[in-house]
Structure 1
Amino acid sequence: MSTVSGGVAASREVLVLLRPSGVAGLVPELADPSAPHLTVKDQGVSRGDGLFETALAVPGDHGALTVRKLGAHLGRLGGSAEILDLPVPSPAQWRQAIDMGLAEFARSCPGTAATVKLTVTRGPETAAGLAPQPTAWVLLTATALPDPSVRPAGLRVLLLNRGLDSRVADKAPWLLAGAKTLSYAVNMAALRHAKANGADDVLFVSSDGQLLEGPTSTALLVRRNAEGRRELVTPLRQQGILAGTSQAVVFAAAEREGWPLGYGPLTPADLEGIEGLWLASSVRGVAPVLSVDGEPLPVDDELTDRLNAWLREDRDPGAHAVTVD
């Protein structure tokens, strides 16, 4: 097996650890992705106490990889860290680690796109009163880019009650609504439930009847407003849902083309009479929804193509997302 600098085995994965290094702070270091790096006492493992972001890196004309929506991802990570009261690497430290990983990945897997996952945990358990020592890393994994000439497969979606009302973020901030934490067991259970019941994905609904988000995606819908114009709408963020980076980029592009935009609130009744519903995520792109709870929805291929084209443009989301320098 060939090797790369530092003796790390060449593969379709690249791992960069952010190591504490005295006055230098956190320093990125290439590591073997197949070797163990966490202790059994790491609270990310024992308690799901941590957060993550997943982005997509695409190769350019000269082979260099670029992470789409990186500012939005880092901004959302910072927001999640604030909710968790978790010290995390600075944006500059993340970027340094990401750049190291991108360079190594482009060398070992030329011309290949990569899923870029940033993860940080509260680190090993410490004695009472001592500051946490977070564990942080960047993992790049080879992935296939969606083919722009092939429309994404349509999704059959179930509405599932999340068991929390739409005001949970204000009433119970300790439930961490709106943070992208490592505690994804409920989300994965929801997807398994969908598969077991003949569906592909899920759209969560609050206990007081508000449409929220998918387990790994943001909802977008197109409808006609009172003036008869098409408008692009997503559920209200203040309901404790995760701000979508893909949704932000799509909204920014739609706004530049003069589309009216809306941020809910939405209920299942608002799905009646729409021109289409989509679930958007960084790696999968914007996928049309064929049906909700078995009831068919209209599917507009032209709109699906337009939404994905807007996402691929990867322009500055501006006011539609939290960004960092």
Structure 2
Amino acid sequence: MTVLVFLDPRHPEGRIADAAAPALLATDLGATRGDGVFESMLAVGGQPRKMGAHLDRLAASAHTLELDSPDRGAWERAVATALSEHLLRAGTGEAVVKLLLTRGAEGSDAPTAWVSVSPVPAGARERSSQGLAVVLLDRGYDSTLAERAPWLLLGAKTLSYAVNMAALRYAKANGADDAIFTSSDGKVLEGPTSTVILAVEEDGVKTLLTPELESGILPGTTQRALFDAAEAAGWALGYGPLEPVHLMEADAVWLVSSIRLLAPVTSIDGTPISSSPALTEELTALLHEAL
């Protein structure tokens, strides 16, 4: 059910490829070295959500890697082609849209770019909505490293996701559903595939907080959409620095991503924390309006 559309100058609307047939050279640097960037976004009824924000972040990641990228219009046309084809095959409903860009085959100057569209994994959001048990995992660097070492590409969404996947496997092997990375100097960073958000209500003022971008985390498109909607609804906003104690003392904590949306955290390292179905419902409604 997966649809692949390659960005190809000879095909202005994108070139549809057979997802069951070989389509990528074995020498492509995205496959051999993880040298590339990607984005994942949600589409509903054939319409992509937050595509502008995802294209902005893709461009920023590509710039960080000094990676040539097709122009914005080429991406938009390829996404439209892929979603139209997916609608023909699967009908209406939600889909995962991935934008992928690599440096191309070794020895070539031409990047490889394609769009992938597939159904949202069955039950993924339902499982997350029941509440997540998470573990805190040391990411192995301090919260100021991004400024000192730009060559580490912190804050770029690269294809080098082996560490992120290993963190999720470790969490699940130890009885948890997900993980939250912390820095070696004790700051909260992000999840392997999500942004951390917490809520605090004091003296009638409701505040949403998230770690500061300067710590080297990926700027969350869903977090940004939620913050904009919450601010319009009267919420106050804050940006770190956050420490694990802030998670333990918050009124509610969520992991937020484009596909799962708002997933409440119910325990950290085996210790139950406060959660609020009412706040989850309120913020989910705001997020759906923003999308």
TM-score (ref. length: structure 1): 0.85
Runs of 4+ in 1 over 3 A off after TM superposition: 144-151
Aligned length: 291
Partners of 1:47 and 1:27 in 2: how far apart? 29
Identify unmatched segments of 5+ residues in structure 1.
1-11, 60-64, 316-325
Question: Which residue of the partner structure matches residue 164 of structure 1?
Answer: 141
Question: Which residue of the partner structure matches residue 242 of structure 2?
Answer: 266
Helix, strand or coil at the partner of 1:214: coil
Question: Which residue of the partner structure matches residue 100 of structure 2?
Answer: 119
Question: Is the contact made by 2:41 and 2:48 (CA closer than 8 Å) also made in structure 1?
Answer: yes
Q: How does 1:271-282 map to 2 (within 5 A)?
A: 271-282=247-258
Residues 1:206 and 2:183 are matched in the alignment: yes
1:188 to 162, 165, 183: 165
1:148 to 1:53, Cα distance in 2 relative to 1, 3 A: closer
Partners of 1:190 and 1:144 in 2: how far apart? 20
1:141 to 1:183, Cα distance in 2 relative to 1, 3 A: same
Question: Is the contact made by 1:146 and 1:284 (CA closer than 8 Å) also made in structure 2?
Answer: no
Give how far 1:106 is off. Answer: 1.2
Amino acid at match of 1:218: T
Question: Which residue of the partner structure matches residue 36 of structure 1?
Answer: 22
Amino acid at match of 2:19: P
Helix, strand or coil at the partner of 2:266: strand
Residues 1:47 and 2:24 are matched in the alignment: no
Largest Rg, 1 or 2: 1
Give how far 1:113 is off. Answer: 1.6
1:148 to 1:40, Cα distance in 2 relative to 1, 3 A: closer
Identify unmatched segments of 5+ residues in structure 2.
none
Question: Is the contact made by 2:14 and 2:78 (CA closer than 8 Å) also made in structure 1?
Answer: yes
Q: How does 1:71-220 map to 2 (within 5 A)?
A: 71-126=52-107, 132-143=109-120, 152-220=129-197
Give how far 1:306 is off. Answer: 1.6
Question: Which residue of the partner structure matches residue 20 of structure 1?
Answer: 9
Aligned residues: percent identity? 49
TM-score (ref. length: structure 2): 0.95
Question: Is the contact made by 2:124 and 2:260 (CA closer than 8 Å) also made in structure 1?
Answer: no
Question: Is the contact made by 1:52 and 1:182 (CA closer than 8 Å) also made in structure 2?
Answer: yes
Residues 1:293 and 2:282 are matched in the alignment: no
Cα RMSD (Å): 1.9
Partners of 1:245 and 1:18 in 2: how far apart? 24
Partners of 2:205 and 2:251 in 1: how far apart? 12
2:223 to 222, 247, 263: 247
Question: Is the contact made by 2:195 and 2:257 (CA closer than 8 Å) also made in structure 1?
Answer: yes
Question: Which residue of the partner structure matches residue 323 of structure 1?
Answer: none
Give how far 1:144 is off. Answer: 5.6
